[in-house]
Structure 1
Amino acid sequence: MATAKVWFITGASRGLGKAFAEAALAAGDRVVAAARNTEPLAALAVEYPDTLVGLPLDVSDRRAVFDGVDRAAAAFGRLDVVVNNAGGLLYGMVEEATEGQIRAHLDVNFFGAVWVAQAVLPHLRAQGSGRILQITSMGAAGGMASVGFYGAGKVALDSFSEALAMEVAQFGIKVTIVEMGGYDTGLFTQGTTATEALTHYDTLRAELAEMWGEETGPAPSTAAPVVMELAALPEPPRRLIVGGRSYDQVQDLVRARADLYQAWESLSRRAPG
């Protein structure tokens, strides 16, 4: 029988984070579930009183993250799988977003993940093992109007995670960039901050709404088995797309970018660098 793992999951009160926590607990693992508001975890705590610890945490607060990670490590004596999942959505055109909105968004979606990574590394390095799953998005493969800052945060997390993986491999720590597809996580309702709309973008906004439609995507629980299997792999991939349709869409984006580069190859090669 496999040894039970200890999970530390941010953004664990809803959506993907909660689905991952539920799957880990059902598998017999122990979970420290971190969220700004842990009340939605109350029923789960009753069901798993000995293997679930709810941890109120705002990942944008660096000092609170370091204190919270120390408490998480002490709760079950170690950390095996760290899931950087906390995030929100800033919805609006680039021109519409205020400085405060942009900074608050990146404080959670990017810097929050950085603080968590920095805080867990001493614990994982001391163990000589551990997994860090960085929850990004299939949207990180390219920018999209009205969600540009969300994409920017995910691209920053993607690049930072590549560097992190190279730096910590020597300590037995493995990092995977988990590119999630579109799931019904509540991101567009509970997790959204909207800009004040400028009328100049009304036509584009309507086109985007028509293109996206009203489909909410599958339940987050349908993605959890893939993440559980990923966490159990002895040699996990550096990055993984979660979702068959999203896999196809990302491949299309990658091919389109390669085609664009090739179309302008002659101009690129006019410079010697």
Structure 2
Amino acid sequence: MSKVWFITGASKGFGREWAEAALERGDRVAGTARKLDDVAPLIERYGDAFLPIQLDVTDRAADIAAVQEAAETFGRLDVVVNNAGYGHFGMVEEITEDEARGQLETNLFGALWISQAALPIMREQGSGHIIQVSSIGGISAFPTVGIYHASKWALEGFSQSLAQEVAGFGISVTLVEPGGFSTDWSGPSASRSEEIEAYADVREAASKRPSAADPGDPTATRGAILKVVDADEPPLRIFFGKAPLEIATKDYESRLRTWNEWQPVSIEAHGN
């Protein structure tokens, strides 16, 4: 049976790739974009199978209305993809209040509002799948993108809770955690803080991260996302790309070593 998708940020990057993957196989897609001109090719190519919705995901009322419009147009919602987001580059000391709030409003609260809007519809259906586009930066952390990490770690936390809360309603939740890909995430789509010269060496070292040397091909994620949404038992978490597993393994092994090393102090802190 064909599926109905709701995808935020469908104008480019993963959102665009996944919208086309779904449409090409005969699914129907409601895709959001800040500017409808950016999704005009999808309208021209797929006609009524694609519902364009102009949306800024930081607007909670508009998020609710957009999800309702998609459900009313297509009769149901099978897959909701929270893809809209951007990266902010800046040392923690450099980040302004407006920059921090902007990052969280889009990457965290946008996904929260869309998820909340979709849940009553999916509960009534007794089925549904929420895809949260997280990042390797949702479970690990690197210099220069601290506030981006904050947004994705928070997304990971509420989504893991959500998965447990809604499993009994037939709703699945999957966190897709990509590594580096050839999108414009670190280019025109990104925002940047005013730099403090004292961090020049840290910034230079961060620019030479190995993952930047071998970015993944966004088009290759089309087949991968279809496998995830078609799975009888989809994963709570899945990496996209070659690099994330190695990064996560080193990170978690380091955490376990430290926790074990300091366990006597942890036990002391417990008291009786």
TM-score normalised over the length of structure 2: 0.95
Q: Write the letter of the residue equivalent to 1:183.
A: F
Does the 8 A contact of 1:177 with 1:240 survive in 2?
yes
Cα distance in 2 for partners of 1:154, 1:207 equals 23
Letter in structure 1 aligned against 2:33: A
Match of 2:177 in 1: 179
Residue of structure 2 in register with 1:59 after alignment: 57
In the alignment, the residues of structure 2 paired with residue 218 and residue 39 of structure 1 have an alpha-carbon distance, to the nearest angstrom, of: 27
The correspondence for 2:116, drawn from 115, 118, 121, is 118
Task: Please tell me the residue identity of whatever aligns with 2:77.
Answer: L
Question: In structure 2, what is the equivalent of residue 94 of structure 1?
Answer: 92
Q: Which residue in the other structure is 1:192 paired with?
A: 190
Return closer, same or farther for 1:231/1:50 CA change in 2, 3 Å cut-off.
same
Amino acid aligned to 2:244: S
Moved segments of 4+, more than 4 Å: none
Q: Is 1:156 matched up with 2:166?
A: no
CA contact (8 A) 1:165 1:175 kept: yes
| Displacement after TM superposition at 1:90 (Å) | 1.1
State the SS of the aligned residue for 1:50.
Answer: helix
Root-mean-square deviation (CA), in Å?
A: 1.4
Aligned equivalent of 1:11: 9
1:201-221 CA distance string (max 9 Å, x none): 111111111335853712211
| 1:97-117: CA deviation from partner (whole Å, max 9, x where unpaired) | 110110011000000000001
Equivalent position amino acid for 2:31 in 1: A
Distance in 1 between residues matched to 2:267 and 2:257, nearest whole Å = 16
In the alignment, structure 2 segments of 5+ residues that lack a partner are: none
Residues 91 and 195, structure 1, Cα contact 8 Å, conserved in 2 = yes
C-alpha distance in 1, partners of 2:18/2:135? 16
Contact 1:181–1:241 (CA under 8 A) maintained in structure 2: yes
Show the 5 A alignment for 1:1-273: 3-212=1-210, 215=213, 217-272=215-270
Q: Aligned residue pairs: how many? A: 271
| Residues 214, 258 of structure 1: alpha-carbon distance in 2 compared, 3 angstrom cutoff | closer
CA pair 166-213 structure 1, distance change in 2 beyond 3 A: closer
Instruction: Tell me, in whole angstroms, the C-alpha distance in 2 between the residues paired with 1:244 and 1:59.
Output: 30
TM-score (norm 1): 0.95
Secondary structure of 2:200's aligned partner? helix
Q: Deviation at 1:84?
A: 0.7
How far off is 1:76 after superposition?
1.0
